Copies of this chain bind each other. A is one copy, B any other.
């Protein structure tokens, strides 16, 4: 092929992975521009199941071999490619455990100001460890899946509790890290071993019903306010496509504990996100501002002795930059409904039925320019019938 260097962000520099259904079958693929390479033509055994799970588990040497082979096959132009338009992406891997963190100091500060006015916005633990919690793996869905407005319990304006469709439905723009190579129980993953274990990343929308979440979450954390759906990109960008994206971590006024010390590592990532609602860009969150880095999140998750499994998904938490047009949730952009956000000719305090939220991001590509991560897209469908 006479390959353009970086056509539409999905050039030879990128080559993300996914799984699609075609008319006849499910197949693991690498994406190149708007075409798909059937990975079973690269390794019939590794991709026999039509999933990426065996690739993820195989480890970094295999990840690099497969990437080289895909690149060579595309440049040799001998393998027929499936047009993207003829395939339907499905969830690209089996999600094992999903842990969502809370790694942006700006987001945590905003949330603290909104929910605990007058108090210190950050809780006492926040700068000593990356706060996180387990989310629901079974309701992680691929980009494009409709998101049904959840039901739940929350205080109503009339006074008594209500059980009904959420009235405060929100998005959270995040980055998701996908664990490939597992770790042994009792053996923490060190902060500098991130790339030995993590296969790649996606964008992630941690849909949140603020009314349900607000009533339920003391003392054991969010549950039903989040568990109805979490959307991830159809395309996993391998870390090997992000060699030029690493940045020094942000400066920190409290030294991290020694097992999270990353002073000498370029642990930050230059990912420039955009969030749009119904086609109108409403925010541009900069991932490089995150206080806790991805390597610290994985190190923390295993620091107590817990093992990580192939398919574990780590969410960064909402990405919010210091400026208001860099906030990563409606909670922050419309300040808990008190200052509705202009969206084209309309305004939004919370998401309405039919609203479509799209998160995109770009990152420095290995050979210059920027690549585009696979978008994560979801439209709100009306709540189910009364029960």
Which residues of chain B have C-beta atoms less than 8 A from A337's C-beta? Answer: none
- Contact status A221-B221, CB under 8 Å: yes
Q: Given A217-B219, A218-B125, A220-B133, A307 and B186 touching (CB < 8 A)? A: no
- Contact status A132-B304, CB under 8 Å: no
Question: In the complex, A150→B163 CA distance in Å?
Answer: 40
- Contact status B129-A153, CB under 8 Å: yes
Q: How far is the CB of A136 from chain B (nearest CB, A)?
A: 6
Question: In the complex, A188→B307 CA distance in Å?
Answer: 32
Which residue among A138, A309, A383 has the maximum number of chain B CB atoms within 10 Å of its CB? A138
- Interface residues in A, total, Cβ within 8 A: 61
Q: Which residue of B lies closest to A137 (CB)?
A: B97
- Contact status A185-B216, CB under 8 Å: no
Q: Given A300-B224, A304-B224, A96 and B137 touching (CB < 8 A)? A: yes
Q: Given A139-B185, A221-B222, A152 and B304 touching (CB < 8 A)? A: yes
> Of residues 174 to 221 in A, which have CB atoms within 8 Å of B's CB atoms?
185-188, 190, 209, 212, 215-221
A38, CB-defined interface residue at 8 Å = no
Q: Given A123-B218, A134-B133, A187 and B384 touching (CB < 8 A)? A: yes
What is the oligomeric copy number?
Answer: 2
Question: In the complex, A135→B306 CA distance in Å?
Answer: 12
- Contact status B163-A257, CB under 8 Å: yes
A161, CB-defined interface residue at 8 Å = yes
Q: Given A152-B303, A152-B304, A384-B305, A217 and B224 touching (CB < 8 A)? A: no
A10, CB-defined interface residue at 8 Å = no
Q: Which one, B96, B229, B259, contacts A387 given CB within 8 A?
A: B259
- Contact status A133-B136, CB under 8 Å: no
A131, CB-defined interface residue at 8 Å = yes
1/0 contact string of A293-306 vs chain B (CB within 8 Å): 00000001101111
A227, CB-defined interface residue at 8 Å = yes
A113, CB-defined interface residue at 8 Å = no
A105, CB-defined interface residue at 8 Å = no
A148, CB-defined interface residue at 8 Å = yes
- Contact status B128-A303, CB under 8 Å: no
- Contact status B306-A148, CB under 8 Å: no
- Contact status B221-A151, CB under 8 Å: no
Question: In the complex, A86→B138 CA distance in Å?
Answer: 36
> Of residues 344 to 386 in A, which have CB atoms within 8 Å of B's CB atoms?
383-384
A35, CB-defined interface residue at 8 Å = no
- Contact status A136-B139, CB under 8 Å: no
Question: In the complex, A228→B224 CA distance in Å?
Answer: 24
> Of residues 103 to 156 in A, which have CB atoms within 8 Å of B's CB atoms?
123, 125, 128-129, 131-139, 148, 150-153
Q: Given A133-B220, A220-B132, A138 and B306 touching (CB < 8 A)? A: yes
Q: Which one, B133, B136, B216, B228, contacts A223 given CB within 8 A?
A: B133
Q: Which one, B222, B257, B308, contacts A153 given CB within 8 A?
A: B257
- Contact status B134-A307, CB under 8 Å: no
- Contact status A304-B134, CB under 8 Å: no
A332, CB-defined interface residue at 8 Å = no
Known: A128-B153, A134-B134, A224-B301. 4 other contacts (CB 8 A): A125-B216, A152-B304, A227-B306, A229-B305
Closest 6 CB pairs of A and B: A221-B221, A134-B134, A150-B304, A133-B220, A224-B304, A220-B221
6 contacts between A and B (CB under 8 A): A134-B227, A151-B303, A218-B219, A224-B304, A227-B301, A228-B304
